[in-house]
Amino acid sequence: MKASAVHELQRRQTRRTTVVLVVLFTAMLAMMGIRVLLGQYTVTIPDFFRILGGERIPGATFIVMQDKLPRALLGAAAGAAFGISGALFRTVLRNPLASPDVLGINAGAAAGAVAAMYFLGAAGTGLAWAGLAGAIAAAMLIALVSTSLRGAAGTAGIVGERFLLAGIGVAALGQATVVGIMARLTTQNAQGAAVWTAGSLNSSTWDRLILVSVVLVVAIPAAVLVHRALQPASLGPELAVGLGSHPGRVQTAALGLGVVLAAVATASTGPLAFVALLSTPIAAALRHGRISVLASGAVGALIVLAADMVGAEMLGDARLPAGVITGAIGAPVMLWLLVQQRRGARS
Amino acid sequence: MRTSLRVTPWVTLAVAVVLLITATAASLFWGSRSLEPGTVVSALARLPEILLGQDPGATADMDTAVVLNRIPRTITAIVVGAALAVAGAGMQGVSRNPLGDPGLLGLSSGAAAGVVLGLGWLGVHTSWQIALAALSGSTVAAILVFGISQIGGGAPTPIGLALSGAAVNAGFVAVTSAVVLTNQQVLERYRYWNVGSVSRTEGTDLATAAPLILLGVLLVLAGASGLNAMALGDDMAHGLGVDLGAQRAMVFTGVVVLAGSATAIAGPIAFVGLLIPHAIRRLVGGDYRWIIVLSMLLGPILLLVADTLGRVVAPPQEIYVGVTTVAIGVPVLLLLLRRRKGMSL
């Protein structure tokens, strides 16, 4: 192939990337608009801008400023955090199923929140902080277990497999804690705990939104940089070191960043099942199989916004938390991924 | 596998019987309320009269009541432990996969979804109706997990099977939470049922489940020689004249019946079905006839020990057996998987 042809190919690829990103972000903004303006309580576009301008319209101002707008923004922010986290996990662990929600991070957050509810009587923001602590504790436990597994197994087993095993174990422990404590809560708390552990945008407040946004502002550029630095590692450790990269350090940084993003998102919305798992392959499919941090983030935001719209507005009287909707969509997709993976391994 | 650990099956059997008797005694004598051994013995001595209704004053005495309460709990632990361990052995044999466990592969959450749907939509309430709902749920889950793992051909890898179990699990959890979040009464019953426990089973539940469990054990036991042949590979088994399809179907039915009925009376309990057959394989080797027989003894021992531990760890609170088995099971699972050689059957 001539040099000019290679250049042409690269240029086309870059253009496609830009187009995909622009389309995804436009779709995300449109979905946020739909979430705020439509539904069982509709707001007209002029009214919306008058509310944003500070005008007080009885009823509408309250619903938009206290419920719909923070809900849409937090949904987008948390979804983006889950999506980016999923992309980082998948790139490092090189397994489509290695995502923070399969590997105990969500279960750890749920265990932390439910434990705080039972032992400390936590509620509201307290639950968010407890969830954050639980998620980070789970991540540390996984890291600890998977490094100790390496010590024993020698060179056998790749990073992904050890991490997966430790993650499945930690997920089982977190699950057992949640179930054990759920049976001890009072009736009222049990209802709250069930909603929290399913994951929902019901308690979207501006405080939480600010927390997630601050983390995202720092984490998005960091994730793009780390993801770029990971590229040499995908060529294999020997070649990566030869190219002057430090795969170990970069991989640790990427996983750490992924854990922080997943933990913060989980703390603010509860463990929304499968968002991290789903957004990466969907975004990759749009880009001919190449994993992109930004595209995954946008897809994650879209999934959460759509799931919340369906759960809260489109099921009539039964208002379901967004996490139930994502879980119901996620299970078949995960199974499809497994089948794909087996086909890939065979061919 | 380290051969130095091998002992003859008969020795293991004798040791297991002794251990089972010890564990049963421990379950009767220890609890969150500490009693003098003499009190327990005298209460047990009065048992025949109490059962015949000739000792009406017995339940008025607090200590005797506590002992009487521990008896159904102990029996449940024995029955459920045997059912789960045999189910695990059968499942590991059929799938030729060391991660076969009713909890890990989503059968328990399938049963849970069945129970919740039954409670919420079909209005079931008697114990045999709940058992039926749990059975149908675990059947659907089993068909899904194994059906999916067959797509693409060949035997699924242990991790592949565990992950499809996790996916099926998550799907059923979504169904379950959709129901319990919209129905307060179902949530109330579900959250107690969902934590595995042997302490709330009543005599009628046991009477419903016991024949089913017996049937399941017999089905798996009848397929034991078939499982031995299957362990050699499909071609070899064919050569030995084994009707693979029929044997598989029989063991599979047995496993689903065992897992479903155990879950119906005690709620989801993970890791018993996983750990016990593994431990036995380490001790006596891969003959499924022995694995199944010993599972019937060692499963109850694990469950009795886990339940007794949960009672004495933080009195007067009790930790449910569904939690203690996971706390014991996860480290052991990781240890087992660490040795990749130990994973092959």
Where are the domains positioned within chain A? 67-346
CB-CB under 8 Å, A334 with B174: no
Q: What residues 292-321 of chain B have any CB closer than 8 A to a CB of chain A?
A: 319-320
For the ranges A93-107, B159-173, B218-232, the maximum mean pLDDT occurs at B218-232
Could you write out the DSSP letters of every residue in A273-333?
Answer: TTHHHHHHHHHHHHTTT---HHHHHHHHHHHHHHHHHHHHHSSTT----HHHHHHHHHHHH
Instruction: Please state the pTM of the whole predicted model.
Output: 0.78
pLDDT tens column, A229-281: 877 666 666 666 666 666 677 778 888 898 889 988 888 888 887 888 888 88
Domains plus CATH for chain B? 3-343 (1.10.3470.10)
- We find that the CATH architecture of domain A67-346 is Orthogonal Bundle (1.10)
Q: Specify the amino acid at residue B122.
A: L
**Share of residues in chain B with pLDDT > 70 (%):** 87
Which residues in chain A have their CB less than 8 angstroms from residue B266's CB? none
> Number of A:B CB contacts under 8 A?
133
Distance from CA of B88 to the nearest CA of A (A): 17
Closest by Cβ to A149, choosing from B182, B187, B334: B334
Instruction: Give the residue, B254 or B31, on which the prediction is more confident.
Output: B254
Closest by Cβ to A157, choosing from B151, B167, B340: B340
Distance from CA of A172 to the nearest CA of B (A): 7
Q: What residues 77-106 of chain B have any CB closer than 8 A to a CB of chain A?
A: 104
ipTM of this complex prediction, to 2 decimal places: 0.73
Which residues in chain A have their CB less than 8 angstroms from residue B170's CB? 273-274, 327, 330-331, 334
Which residues in chain B have their CB less than 8 angstroms from residue A202's CB? none
Q: Along the 347 residues of chain A, how does pLDDT read in single tens digits?
A: 567 777 887 787 778 778 888 888 888 888 888 888 887 778 888 888 888 777 777 777 777 777 888 888 999 999 999 999 999 988 888 777 678 877 888 889 889 988 998 888 777 778 888 888 999 999 888 888 877 765 544 443 445 567 777 887 888 889 888 888 888 888 888 888 888 888 888 877 888 888 888 888 888 888 888 888 877 666 666 666 666 666 677 778 888 898 889 988 888 888 887 888 888 888 887 777 778 888 899 999 999 999 988 888 777 677 788 888 888 888 887 777 777 766 665 54
- Report residue B17 as tokens: 């019987």
User: b/e string for B257-277 if b means 16 or more Cβ within 10 A?
Assistant: bbbbbbbbbbbbbbbbbbbbb
Instruction: Give the residue, B159 or A226, on which the prediction is more confident.
Output: A226
User: How many residues comprise chain B?
Assistant: 345
Q: Where does chain B have alpha helices with state H?
A: 9-29, 37-45, 47-51, 62-95, 107-117, 127-150, 158-182, 184-193, 203-222, 224-230, 234-239, 244-266, 272-284, 288-312, 321-338
CB atoms within 10 A of CB B18: 11
CB atoms within 10 A of CB B195: 24
Q: Which residues contact A108 (CB under 8 A, 6 or more apart)?
A: A134, A135, A136, A137, A138, A139, A141, A170, A174
> Can you give the pLDDT at residue B215?
93
pLDDT tens column, B1-18: 444 456 788 888 888 889
Residues A304 and A79 sit within 8 Å (Cβ to Cβ): yes
pLDDT tens column, B269-323: 888 888 888 888 888 888 888 899 999 999 999 999 999 888 888 777 788 888 8
> Can you give the pLDDT at residue B343?
40
Cα–Cα distance list, B5 to A124, A196, A262, B279 (Å): 54, 48, 44, 11
Q: What residues 256-285 of chain B have any CB closer than 8 A to a CB of chain A?
A: 270
Distance from CA of B153 to the nearest CA of A (A): 9
Of A312, A108, A303, A122, the closest CA to residue A197 belongs to A108
Q: Which residues contact B130 (CB under 8 A, 6 or more apart)?
A: B115, B118, B119, B124, B264
CB-CB under 8 Å, A324 with B322: no
> Can you give the pLDDT at residue A137?
92
pLDDT tens column, A149-168: 655 444 434 455 677 778 87
Q: Does B155 touch chain A (CB under 8 A)?
A: no
Please state, in angstroms and rounded to a whole number, the distance separating the CA atoms of residues A155 and A129: 38
Q: Does B215 touch chain A (CB under 8 A)?
A: no
Residues A311 and A328 sit within 8 Å (Cβ to Cβ): no
CB-CB under 8 Å, A324 with B178: yes
Instruction: Give the residue, B218 or A34, on which the prediction is more confident.
Output: B218
